[in-house]
Amino acid sequence: MLARWWVYLLAAFLALGLIGVLLTGFAALVTIPTLPSLEALTDYRPKIPLRVYSAEGLLIGEFGEERREVVKISSVPERLKQAILAAEDDRFYQHGGVDYPGILRAAYSNFTSGGARQGASTITMQVARNFFLTKEKTLTRKFSEALLAFKIEHSLSKDEILELYFNQIYLGQRAYGFAAASQVYFGKSLEKINLAEAAMLAGLPKAPSRFNPVVNLKRAKTRQLYVLRRMRELGYISDTAFKEAEKHPLQVKRESQEFAMHAGFVAEMARQAVYERHREDTYTKGFKVYTTIRRLDQDAAYNAVRQAVMDYDSRHGYRGPEAFINLTQTGQDREEILEDALQEVTDSDDIQAAVVLAASTKSVKAYRRGGEIIEITGDGLKFAQKSLSSKAGSGQQYIRPGSLIRIRKNEKGVWHIVQLPQVEASLVAVNSHDGAIRAIVGGFDFNRNQFNHVMQAWRQPGSSFKPFIYSASLEKGFTPATVVNDAPLSFTAEETGSDQWDPRNYEDTYEGPVRMREALAKSKNLVSIRILQAIDVQYAQDYVARFGFDPKLHPAYLPMALGAGSVTPIQMAVGYAAFANGGFLVTPYFIQRIEDERGNILEQPKPVLAGESAKQIIDPRNAFLMTSMMQDVVQRGTATRAKQLGRADLAGKTGTTSNYVDAWFCGYQADLVAIAWIGFDNPKSLGNNETGGRAALPMWMSYMSKALKGVPTAAYTPPAGITTAKINPETGLREAHGTMTEYFLEEQLPPEANDKVDEAIKSVEDVIREFLSP
């Protein structure tokens, strides 16, 4: 009887098993036709962000929802592959998509532990889920996942499956794939990571948000040690390697995005350029933009702008703390209050936010994000000294416990109290021969203000526009030795196009008759106006259009002589480039080439070259004479500070607008033009004596000192048709024993002094003869 019951029981189990097999087979027959096509795998096209690079190939910008860098499995370090297999699927190369022993092992582990603690999804099943299915925990989804895994295994090789997994898996911090995660968490390419870092990355797929080392390093370390133990158990690493990796300190990047240089304005320009052509595909198709920006130039320009703005700001006094934090809130830990307050405040590169804990005239203790408490003393307090005095009272300018201040380390590593500046500035540098932009800094801080002052800011150029008026006068027969009266003038509203105008020189000083060379060097306003009167304003308006300026923005009225029109810094760079390159109009460009994700070149601009394909807009002799005159601006004019650079090949012009609203320095060396500007976004005075020579020139000098380091001094050779003559510096006339040598066009030599006297006598005789004739 007992034996018969066992037979019945066995038969029942077999019948149930057969029914289960039949039902599973039926379910498979029903489900298989509904499974998605594997085209997404066989023709893998992941979402790859737009990446922007410098001329050297350094990453300077990235745009896209998913950070991803697709790599071949053959290039993945063996230690990382082993770490991933140890953590996720150590029998990957043995099973056919579903690991049955693994399922039994997980089931047993979960049963004995009293809950679902261990999963049984293979790497192939994860690929199926990541590409085609949701993450809902249902039997239907799991069944479809297993069937898809079989289908994938049948269609792709093991290495192809692992490569898909490697590039597609989400690993936190917007990083998709292990190559992107390596950069995000450690700032390293895959081949440079060590065993400890490989184990940390391999532990992320299980729960990227939970084991993210940026969010919770302690929890990430626990997961890393699990991966290392599994690697040791499987014989991938030795006990010695395990112990070394266990003790190895992890240097995790705290910043979510770091680039090779500060080039946010350039990267945004590249994004806009690609978006105009490819719209939303810009962010997913893996386009790569290689720019003309050079690291040395960009770093020099960025630091020059930052320092010039901070120097200007320090000259105009401390405005007081940004805000006040109540440190005595009930029910909250003090450190929690401080961290919450600082969490809402954004740093500006090396200008960091801090909350004052204690303050006196001799010392300030402040709390920095992350828990560091610093003490500022001595020179570090000078800028804000008035706000530490008891005379500051209890107003907003008074620094006291709870004040939100800004701090910055100087070059010696000493903390100083500073403030976020309100003024803006920009610098652009261009190759004068082909228009390649070597550096663009469109503002003080791209993260605070994305308005690109180089490309978008229409400002009055002031006296930096005078060289274009002088160039026009050379075409009309004037010479560098032409004497013009430097004396006051007054004009009616009809002559100026607006109100009555009484122009003045800087500091209201006048020299009477003065040569044009001298007048440009000293930036004599009244001379420029008289020159414009003589050549005709309409002619000048048409003439400046040759340099790329819009005539409509430079009305044909006399204030044009003093730069009353509107320009952008990039326009000024193009205009000055014509003086530097011998009279050619170059087109500024910043994109070298655009590639697709496979490296195929989609676009590659062909720049016009000075002396070849570029349009000649002025006589090369005109360009030479203007360069010669603007060299004097540096050697003995309003930009003599630039002589500190110790170069004889620098030329340029300062620019200061009425009431010190805008300050410029536009200058060049034979191969490189740089334009520096500083001013407020809502135009207002920079303050008394904030001239181009004081506010903008130091910025230009700082950049040029680094950009031209090691570059031989250029020689400006007079072109054919230029001659020299000795002149009397008082009259501008030729004299055999003149004390000054001047350049002239061969056909425009001034008369000798004696000839001039003879002409005058003859003229007087003619007048008398006409008067006496019947």
> What does the alpha-carbon distance between residue 583 and residue 766 come to, in Å, rounded to a whole number?
43
| Residue 303 · residue 411 · CB < 8 Å | no
- In the block, tokens 């009477």 appear at 512
Number of other residues whose CB lies within 10 A of the CB of residue 67: 23
Question: For residue 119, which of 58, 239, 206, 3 has the smallest C-alpha distance?
Answer: 206
Q: What does each C-alpha distance from 625 to 260, 278, 582, 653 come to in angstroms?
A: 41, 46, 10, 14
| Residue 15 · residue 106 · CB < 8 Å | no
> What does the alpha-carbon distance between residue 250 and residue 211 come to, in Å, rounded to a whole number?
14
> 305 Cβ partners below 8 Å, 6+ apart?
425, 426, 427, 441, 443, 444, 699
Question: For residue 681, which of 461, 443, 466 has the smallest C-alpha distance?
Answer: 443
* Beta strands 67-68 and 175-176, pairing class: parallel
> What does the alpha-carbon distance between residue 668 and residue 484 come to, in Å, rounded to a whole number?
27
User: CA triplet 626, 629, 632: central angle to 5 degrees?
Assistant: 150
* Beta strands 415-418 and 424-431, pairing class: unpaired
Radius of gyration of the chain (CA): 37
Q: Helix (H, G, I), strand (E, B), or coil: what is residue 22? A: helix
Question: For residue 457, which of 468, 449, 469 has the smallest C-alpha distance?
Answer: 449
Question: For residue 63, which of 73, 76, 48 has the smallest C-alpha distance?
Answer: 48
CA 774 from chain centre, in angstroms, equals: 81
> 189 Cβ partners below 8 Å, 6+ apart?
179, 182, 183
Q: What does each C-alpha distance from 307 to 273, 421, 679 come to in angstroms?
A: 30, 11, 15
> What does the alpha-carbon distance between residue 363 and residue 620 come to, in Å, rounded to a whole number?
62
* Beta strands 591-595 and 288-291, pairing class: antiparallel
> 253 Cβ partners below 8 Å, 6+ apart?
184, 185, 186, 187, 214
> 7 Cβ partners below 8 Å, 6+ apart?
none
| Residue 438 · residue 711 · CB < 8 Å | no
> What does the alpha-carbon distance between residue 157 and residue 481 come to, in Å, rounded to a whole number?
82
Q: What does each C-alpha distance from 336 to 322, 339, 343 come to in angstroms?
A: 20, 5, 10
Query: How far from each other are the two terminal CA atoms of the chain, in whole angstroms?
Result: 166
Residues labelled catalytic: 88, 463
> What does the alpha-carbon distance between residue 694 and residue 708 come to, in Å, rounded to a whole number?
21
> What does the alpha-carbon distance between residue 429 and residue 292 come to, in Å, rounded to a whole number?
11
